[in-house]
Structure 1
């Protein structure tokens, strides 16, 4: 058992890193959203593209930093753990706060891509490695999804002339928010990795477990905060879209970029447990959303309980 004094610095780095990631993501979301509106994108388009991608930024920074400082296990574990946390913890807690309505548009356009991303990840990872070619495939699918989403969203909406800030151009304040948010994310991800890895290494846990738990929950805080606040304010469709979009970008963008940098080696235990867990959580969520087009408080309880079970089995 490590001495208490030896744990003070890792714990401090972990806490400060999580706070910095949350603050950086909030600044990035605010600045990116206003910039997108300023150049004429519609609010709904911003929500399912810019905001979803921006809240995925912590996973991206942690994964890329982990590649150079630790191993690809950090990136893979963070994405798998974050996607499971987004479904079990983020949507579970949000549904417990207030039942979440699921729009027809989300079910037809966004949810199928979330399922595709999960199935594609498992399919290309069954041989134990995600190489640069598979990384390029993930990026290509991401580009196709983004083009499709922007095209279909813009095609069926009225012009955004009444949106606050729409078409006002680029403001230096918003550029500054984006830059400060990015810098804060870089620093926060470094602190989070250092604190999380040192703390769990001290207790004998593996890099994959660290990514699947501490780092995954830490990088899911922007989604949790945004979705929980959205649910509390009655903006329940935003909570659904935020998580669905983030899960898509986590797989396609984060792992796609990491695999382009260096091939991702996948342990047999991951193929046997974490991959099936991701598929099960994804399919259970789709089944819940398909029934009555909403997530009830009972659904929220089941999701949170499922996530607790996932963490319990990971610790065994």
Structure 2
């Protein structure tokens, strides 16, 4: 067991990693978004593609860092924990700030893919492994989802007479934002994994538990900040779209890429507890959104309480 003063190093790494991931994601989102607009892409198209993938970057970098540390538990646990935290914690807190309205487009186009991603993950993982072939399947489904979003968004814009902007060109500051953001994500993911793993390992927790809790919440900070700010500003549909998109990309992009690098081994305990928890949180969220097309403050309390219960049972 580390002495009190020795705990300061992993604590500092953990805190610095969370800050670096948050700052890196913010810089990447800002820079990539402006670069895409600068070359003439529609704002809506940027939102459902570039921004959605950029906010998933922390989970991707942490997962790949875990792979090179010979642990696929880090990647799987981070994705499962992050998706559950996105629903229970991020949307729960956002709904407490202000009730969240759910658009018809989100219910018809985005939410079904979120359910599909969760069901697909559980379905292919029941045999205890996500193979390279199944990882390729995730990536193919992701490509189809992204193409569908771009097509439908452009079709909507065209029907409303919204033409793509000519764009102001590529600015060096935006390129710098992207590069600095990527560097911060790489460094921050390493610090978060090292600090969080060393700290909780000293207290006897497994790498999977660490990934499901500390790393998952840490990598969900961009979503939490974006959704909470969106709710506070009255942009409630953005708060829901942010989480739904992130949960889709977490499964299809992060686990798809990790499985292509190396097959992901899944523990029996994960199949018995975390998989059902992901499905339950996902279906409860869908039921809440379909009822009245609004996430109320009461729903927010239920989601936060559900997440607290998940962490409690996880620690048992």
TM over 0.5: yes
1:232-254 CA distance string (max 9 Å, x none): 00000110000000000000000
Residue in 1 aligned with 2:131?
131
How many residue pairs get aligned? The number is: 314
Structure 1 residue 159: deviation in Å? 5.5
1:42 corresponds to? 42
Counterpart for residue 174 of structure 1: 174
Greater than 3 Å deviation, 4+ residue runs: 158-163
State the Cα distance separating 1:160 from its structure 2 match: 5.0
User: Unaligned regions of 5+ residues in structure 2, if any?
Assistant: none
How far apart in 2 are the matches of 1:238 and 1:33? 15
1:5 lines up with 2:5 in the alignment: yes
The answer to whether residue 71 in structure 2 is matched with residue 71 in structure 1 is yes
Given that residues 42 and 159 in structure 1 are in contact (C-alpha distance below 8 angstroms), is that contact kept between their aligned partners in structure 2? no
CA contact (8 A) 2:142 2:252 kept: yes
Gaps of 5+ in 1: none
| 2:198 pairs with 1:198 | yes
Deviation at 1:2, TM superposition (A): 3.5
Mapped to 1, the partners of 2:145 and 2:241 lie a distance apart of 14
Q: In the alignment, is the contact (CA less than 8 A) between 2:209 and 2:314 conserved in 1?
A: yes
Mapped partners of 1:62, 1:159: distance in 2: 42
Are 2:121 and 1:121 equivalent residues in the alignment? yes
Cα distance in 2 between the residues matched to 1:254 and 1:281: 20
Q: Please tell me the root mean square deviation across aligned C-alpha atoms, in Å.
A: 1.1
Aligned to 1:207: 207
Deviation at 1:128, TM superposition (A): 0.1
* 1:159-308 correspondence runs (5 A): 160=162, 167-308=167-308
Distance 2:85 2:191 in 1: 21
Report the CA distance between 1:69 and its aligned residue: 1.4
Structure 1 counterpart of 2:312: 312
Kindly provide the CA deviation profile for residues 264-285 of structure 1, in whole angstroms up to 9, marking residues without a partner as x: 0000000000000000000000
Name 2:27's counterpart in structure 1.
27
